[in-house]
Amino acid sequence: MTTRTPSQLAAQLAGLDRPEDEAARQELIIGALGDRSTPVRDLAVAWAARCLEPARLVPLVADEADSILRNAALAALERQGPYAVSQVESLTTTADADLAMFACQVLGSIAHGSNPEPLLAALARPEVNVVQAAIEALGRLRMREAVPTLAALLTRDPWLGLAAADSLGSIGDAGAVPALVSIPPDSLIASPALDALRRIGSPSVLRALLPRLTDPAWLPHRAALVEAVSGALAAGEPSDELTALGAAMERDHSVGGLWHLLSDWLADGVGDSLEGPPERDDRAQRRGGSPTVQAAGAMVLAAQVSSLLPLVVRWGATREGLSWLGPLAERYPSGIEAALDRLLAHPDHEVRAGALRLAPPRTVGRERLVGALRDGASEVRLAAINALAVLADPAAIEALLGSLGGEVAAESSAAARALARMPAAPLDAALHPWLEVGEPEARLAAALTVMADVYLEGLAPRVVELAGGTAGTVRRLALRAAAKIPGSRAEVVLIRALADRDPSVQVEALELLVGRGNERVVTTFIALLSVADSLRYHVIRALGRLGDRRAAPALEALFSSAAFHEQLEICGTLGRLRAANCRAFLVDALASTQDEVRHAAAQALMDVAEPEDIEVIRKLAADQDWVLRSEAARGFGRLGLAEARPVLLDLARDIEPAVARTARAALAGHP
Amino acid sequence: MIAGTEADWKLLTDLIEERFGLSFGGARREILEGRLQSRLDALRLDGVRTYYHYLLAHPCREVEFGELTRRITNNETYFFRETAHFDAILQQVIPEIRPRLEGRPLRILSAACSSGEEPYSLSIRLTDAGLEFSGCRWEIDACDLNPARVEQARAAVYDGLSFRALDEGLRTRLFEPNGDGRFRLKERYRRAVRFFQANLAAPFSGAGWGQYDVVLCRNLLIYFGPASFDRLIGRFGELLFPGGYLFLGHAESLIDRGPGFAPVHFPGTMGYRRVVEAA
């Protein structure tokens, strides 16, 4: 049992910060690396990465007696990352096989700075555990240079073959396909090789794999085969082979056949049978569909297995399902197109909704889509509205207005978006009655929601009138619609709203003006900086988003009299403006007595820094404050200066992980 | 996805940990991001650092901390969750402690009680065991960070998932219909439980706190960083009478976490006895 807590260890380490304490500190760290308490050890690993040279850590990795210490030392080396790479690489050639194996594992964990040579050389060692570690490391690092050697290892030794197949899958290079495809069905690595092919996802495998789906010799691997084929289908094209396979499946629905397998997978995915609404609906828990369902779905779409389409198409009713099914349906549209009438008449509303989402709207056609607006299920109506939006056929405006004024909020919003995509002239005419004086607030609000996305010239005067009038929802929506109207009249209404008594209206108007973003808006905002109210915070930030550098001097002038929270935003805004002439101001702000101002100034400075600021950044890199060190790492990363590399290597093993990660990211893009 | 650098996220998560003890480092950052996205949209803030500045310096920061509290606290709980702790308290801890009570009531704290299912479950067990008839009085204090949850606990009205470990018969015996499809815990189980809002990451002072024989703090410390964990355990040590017991969730442990508590095995679970310092 440990006698200390992480807090106690941190306090002890903090007390050993003089140069003469260095030896004692290192001993304390090494002792804590072997502590039984995980939190204590985690802290020790962070300090070891920072304070112990790789040469000191490496012997600890070789300690056979204490596995806790060995693993902690490994973790510290991993954490040192690029700083430790050359030392760890040299260990891959050591005579101690265990040490060489660990070295390969560490290299696999250090994404940056590794070159393939030491690991490729380790593949030639006689010790199987070293070779396996090297294979795995090459896979983790996705080193394409290793593909030919790994492919050759597939058949050398079963265990090495397993590791090689896995690594080839991780690397994902199509160069491995011939070797993987050549693995026979009776091999121990037949299924792992198919899994690697799935991950590689090259359409070139289809010609070899499709016949295997009906080959009895491959029966034990059929699940892996289907998944491998589905991986390739994502980038494949419709073909006669696929169509023939689908026809063959439709002829054989016997138990144990391929059709039956896919049917099982798809039914397991939704927990019900082919026809009729589901009895036990657990789709809510598995909305996206498992990898098995997705594999089966790809096969059914690509091979046009009509009888299984309902079980696939229903996944299109959910956003998660649509994300994988949508691209497949675009690539292989024929099956759904041919079965459209049957799918749209299916008793399960999710099949109907899925079909509407997956089929090209032009194929479905306006009449069927408008008809679907009368479906009893909201999901189907919603899918129809979205398809009508793509179609943008003005003949659908009247039907969509019905949905706009309906009681289902999601349908009303979707109808507003769909209407906004219609041609302006007929839409203008159709919405005119909705905006007349005396219309109920709900109708006004619905029409204005449409107009937040589209400018309708004929209705502009009425919108401006409503935006300048009464408070409440209608005015807020009218302001949004007014933001679409070009010219000064609408702009004046929005600028007036900046002085509204309701702060939320002020902020809304500000946002809308930012969206318009012209010179007058910038001038107005700069003028508003002199008004010390709650809006000024938003104005400062809005100026940053407008990106007009003329605002920089006004912001700098405001800084000393601004409130603390405004000062932080002024720094941030100057950074966003990328105003190079504000560098001197930001450097001055680094001398602030308030940490947060220094942080904000450093962050902004790193966005605008030039190579001549290297000394300022170097100082930040050596600061006690980790936020400043992190900003320095980011700044050096942005500038890409060769002379900053040693500083970044040092920061890459910073005690603070956020600094170390930032430095590593900077090094990854460094020359 | 919320825009932010490594440093931005660390600043924000450190601030949250400092304020509430809850750690959102590592993989839990995604959880935090999911809970904050809509809030940043509502405030029209465009990144983590801006939100951090808002919490740090904006005039509305205290209001925002309240909003943040509601978003980051985990309210997953139900009646009779992990009942081995209740058995241990009833069958072993109370008989051990009872001779030391000297006429005062047994005092129990349910820390991070969410909407009250845990302290009420214990109240049900103690009431149904007839402890008071045997001359042992008892009180349960219960606290939570989220004021909305505390209000909900005081109301003692529940539905759905709160009853997942109760069968229909037990629910009917313990609860009465509330008239809105939900159920209210009967008064005899409510009366000995007192709720108050408290931040366990802040120093224990002011109204609410007392000395306790038993502290339950289950499934909270898994969300705490090491420093906050140690601090809170130290504070529980101060709250407990010498020889008092601390019960944590099954995924939480004090093993190898310092000398203030000694682990004690009970059937199906483990507790930690506050070590009595030598005189």
Beta carbons of A662 and B7 less than 8 Å apart = yes
Contacts of A342 (CB under 8 A, 6+ apart): none
User: Which positions in chain B touch A634 (Cβ < 8 Å)?
Assistant: 5, 7
Residue B251 lies in a domain: yes
Q: Tell whether B124 and B241 lie within a shared domain.
A: yes
How does strand B106-111 pair with strand B183-185?
Answer: unpaired
Residue B240, beta-bridge partner list: B212
CB within 8 Å of A86: residues ≥ 6 apart? none
- What's the pLDDT score for residue A3? 54
Closest by CA to A616, choosing from A607, A627, A625, A605, is A605
Q: Which of A595, A489, A599, A495 is nearest to A539 (CA)?
A: A495
Check whether A410 has a pLDDT greater than 90.
yes
pLDDT band at B278 (very low <50, low <70, confident <90, very high): low
pLDDT at A106: 87
Interchain contact, B11 vs A599, CB within 8 Å? yes
Give residue B131's pLDDT.
87
Residue B161 has pLDDT above 60, yes or no: yes
Per-residue pLDDT of A67-124, as tens digits, reads: 889 889 989 998 898 888 888 888 899 898 888 998 898 888 876 656 889 999 999 9
pLDDT value of residue B226: 80
Domain extent, residue B40, equals 6-72
pLDDT digits (tens, 9 = 90+) for A575-597: 999 887 899 999 999 999 999 99
Question: Which residues contact residue B116 at a Cβ distance below 8 angstroms, ignoring those fewer than 6 apart?
Answer: B142, B149, B152, B153, B154, B156, B193, B195
For residues B178 and B160, give the distance between their C-alpha atoms in angstroms, rounded to a whole number: 13
Neighbours of A438 (CB within 10 A): 5
User: What pLDDT, on a 0 to 100 scale, did the predictor assign at position A91?
Assistant: 87
Find residues 160-179 of chain B whose CB sits inside 8 Å of chain A. none
**Contact present, B211 and B236 (Cβ < 8 Å):** no
Structural domain includes residue B122: yes
Same domain, B159 and B93: yes
Least confident among A185-199, A237-251, A409-423, A483-497:
A483-497
Check B258 against A4: CB less than 8 A apart: yes
Residues B64, B162: one domain? no
Give chain B's length.
Answer: 279
Same domain, B98 and B52: no
**Which among B11, B50, B258 is the nearest to A572, CB-wise?**
B50
**In contact, B146 and B116? CB cutoff 8 Å:** no
Q: Is residue B1 part of a domain?
A: no
Task: For residue B272, give how far its alpha carbon lies from the nearest alpha carbon of chain A (Å).
Answer: 15
In this predicted model, what pLDDT tens digit does every residue of A546-562 receive, in sequence order? 999 999 999 999 999 99
Band of residue B153 on the pLDDT scale cut at 50, 70, 90: very high
Q: Which chain A residues are Cβ-neighbours of B9 within 8 angstroms?
A: 658
Are both B53 and B166 inside the same structural domain? no
Report chain B residues whose CB lies below 8 A from the CB of A4.
258
Please give the pLDDT value at position A287.
Answer: 58
Inside any domain, residue B78: no
Q: Reply yes or no on whether the pLDDT at A436 is more than 90.
A: yes
Residues A611-634 have a mean pLDDT of 96
The string of DSSP codes covering A565-584 is HHHHHHHHHHHHHT-GGGHH
C-alpha–C-alpha distance, residues A640 and A627, integer Å: 20
Helix (H) or strand (E) holding B109: strand B106-111
Q: What share of chain B is helix, strand, coil (3-state, %, to 5)?
A: 45, 20, 35
Output the furthest CA–CA distance in chain A (Å, rounded): 91
Contact A310, A380 (CB under 8 A): no
Inside any domain, residue B142: yes
**Domain co-membership, B41 together with B91:** no
Q: Give dist(CA A441, CA A585) in Å, integer.
A: 51
- Cα angle at B177 between B174 and B178, to 5 degrees? 120
Q: Write the pLDDT tens digit of every residue in A276-318.
A: 333 333 443 455 678 888 999 999 999 999 999 999 999 998 8
Beta bridge mates, B177: B183
- Interface contact flag, A541 B257, Cβ < 8 Å: no
Question: CA-CA distance, A380 to A357, in Å (whole number)?
Answer: 9
Cα A515 to Cα A533: distance, rounded to the nearest angstrom: 22
Task: Give the contacts of A658 (CB within 8 A, at least 6 positions apart).
Answer: A626, A630, B6, B7, B9, B10
* The pLDDT of residue A404: 96
| ipTM of predicted complex | 0.75
Partners of B259 on chain A (C-beta within 8 Å) are 3
Burial class (CB in 10 A: 0-12, 13-18, 19+), A406: middle
Task: Tell me the per-residue pLDDT of A238-287, one tens digit each, with 9 for 90 and over.
Answer: 999 999 999 999 999 998 889 999 998 888 654 443 443 333 334 434 55
A545:B46 CB<8 A: yes
Based on C-alpha coordinates, what's the Rg of chain B?
A: 20
Q: Which of B57, B255, B259 sits opposite A568 (nearest CB)?
A: B57
Give the pLDDT band of residue A542 (cuts 50, 70, 90).
very high
Statement: residue B207 has pLDDT above 80: no
CA–CA separation, B64 vs B52, rounded Å? 11
User: Is the backbone of residue B118 left (phi > 0), alpha (psi -120 to 50) or beta?
Assistant: alpha
pLDDT over threshold 90, residue A471: no
Which secondary-structure segment (H or E) carries B146? none
Pairing of strands B240-248, B269-274: antiparallel
Residues B159 and B106 in one domain: yes
Structural domain contains residue B244: yes
**What's the mean pLDDT when you consider all of chain A?**
90
Model pTM above 0.90: no
Q: How many CB pairs under 8 A join A and B?
A: 84
B5 touches A at CB < 8 Å: yes
Identify the three-state secondary structure at position B265. strand
Q: Is B267 on the interface with A (CB under 8 A)?
A: no
CA distance B32 to A633: 25
Query: In this complex, do A599 and B54 lie within 8 Å of one another by their Cβ atoms?
Result: no
pLDDT digits (tens, 9 = 90+) for B220-274: 888 888 888 888 998 899 899 999 999 999 888 887 776 789 999 999 899 999 9
Interface of A with B (CB under 8 A): 1-7, 10, 36-40, 42-43, 507, 511, 534, 537-538, 541, 545, 563-565, 568-569, 572, 596, 599-600, 603, 626-627, 630-631, 634, 656, 658-659, 661-662, 665
pLDDT in tens, A23-61: 999 999 999 999 988 888 988 999 999 899 988 888 888
Q: DSSP H helical segments within A421-550, as ranges?
A: 424-431, 441-451, 460-467, 473-482, 488-497, 503-516, 519-528, 534-546
AA identity, residue A89: E
CB-based contact B28:B71 (threshold 8 Å): no
Residues recorded for chain A = 671
State whether residue B243 is helix, strand or coil: strand
Q: How many CB atoms lie within 10 A of CB A668?
A: 12
What is the C-alpha to C-alpha distance for residues A240 and A248, in angstroms, rounded to an integer?
12
CA-to-CA distance for A360 and A326, rounded, in angstroms? 10
User: A293, A224 in Cβ contact below 8 A?
Assistant: no
Compute the nearest-CA separation of B275 from chain A (Å): 15
Percent of chain A at pLDDT > 70 equals 95
Tokens of A311: 């079980």
User: How would you list the strands of the sheet with B157-158, edge to edge?
Assistant: B157-158, B183-185, B175-177
- Please tell me the distance from the alpha carbon of residue A284 to that of residue A268, in angstroms, as a whole number: 14
- Burial tier of A649 (Cβ tally within 10 Å: 0-12, 13-18, 19+): buried
Convert the pLDDT of each residue in A153-189 to its tens digit.
999 888 999 999 999 999 999 999 999 999 999 999 9
Which of A218-222, A284-288, A505-509, A591-595 comes out lowest in average pLDDT? A284-288
Nearest-angstrom CA–CA distance, B71 and A647: 40
Helices marked H in A97-189: 97-109, 116-122, 128-140, 147-153, 158-171, 177-181
Determine, for residues A36 and B256 on separate chains, whether the beta-carbon distance falls below 8 Å.
yes
Out of B57, B255, B258, the one facing A596 most closely (by C-beta) is: B57
The number of domains in chain B is 2
Helix or strand or coil: residue A439? Answer: coil
Q: Show the tokens assigned to B88.
A: 């241990």
Comparing CB atoms, the residue among A2, A599, A659 nearest residue B256 is: A2
Residue with tokens 């090789």: A193
Q: For residue B207, with 0-12 CB atoms within 10 Å meaning exposed, 13-18 middle and 19 or more buried, which class applies?
A: exposed
The C-alpha torsion from B90 through B92 and B97 to B98, rounded to 10°, is 60
pLDDT score of A272 = 41
Report yes or no: A586 and A571 within 8 Å, Cβ to Cβ.
Answer: yes
Q: State whether A568 and B257 contact (CB < 8 Å).
A: no
β-pair partners for A531: none
Structure token digits, residue B191: 């009366």
Per-residue pLDDT averaged across B166-173, rounded?
90
Token reading at A540 = 């400062």
Q: Residue A282's pLDDT is what?
A: 41
Shared domain for B120 and B48, answered yes or no, is no
Residue A451: CB atoms within 10 A of its CB come to 29
Decide if B279 is inside a domain: no
Q: What is the CATH number of the domain that holds B36?
A: 1.10.155
B152 belongs to a structural domain: yes
Q: Are residues B58 and B128 in the same domain?
A: no
Within chain B, what is the greatest distance between any pair of CA atoms? 62
One domain for residues B27 and B91 = no
Could A596 and B5 be called an inter-chain contact, meaning their C-beta atoms sit closer than 8 Å? no
B194 lies in the same domain as B157: yes
Report yes or no: B62 at the A interface, CB cutoff 8 Å.
no
CA distances from A159 to A99, A122, A129, A136 (A): 20, 16, 10, 12
Identify whether the C-beta of residue A527 lies closer than 8 Å to the C-beta of residue A495: no
Select from A37, A38, A565 the residue whose CB has the most chain B CBs within 10 Å, as the one to mutate to test that interface. Answer: A565
Query: Do B127 and B229 lie in a common domain?
Result: yes
Question: How far apart are the CA of B184 and the nearest CA of chain A, in angstroms?
Answer: 30
- Mean pLDDT confidence for A391-418: 95
The domain boundary residue, chosen from B26, B48, B72:
B72
The helix (H) or strand (E) run that includes residue A609 is: none
CATH number, domain with residue B247: 3.40.50.150
Phi, psi of B264 (to 5 degrees): -130, 125
**Number of C-beta neighbours around residue A327 at 10 A:** 12
Tally Cβ neighbours within 10 Å of residue A290.
12
Mapped onto helix, strand or coil, the DSSP state of residue B13 is helix
- Chain A contact present for B53, CB below 8 A: yes
Domain final position from B29, B47, B72: B72
Helix (H, G, I), strand (E, B) or coil at A56: helix
The single-letter code of the amino acid at A398 is E
One-letter amino acid at A66 equals: D
Contact B7 A545 (CB under 8 A): no
Three-state SS for B200-231 is CCCCCCCCCCCCEEEEEECCCHHHECHHHHHH
Output the pLDDT for position A283. 40
Whether residue A42 and residue B226 make contact (CB cut-off 8 A), yes or no, is: yes
- Of the three residues B24, B49, B72, the one that is the final residue of a domain is B72
Among A42, A43, A507, the residue with its CB nearest the CB of B44 is A507
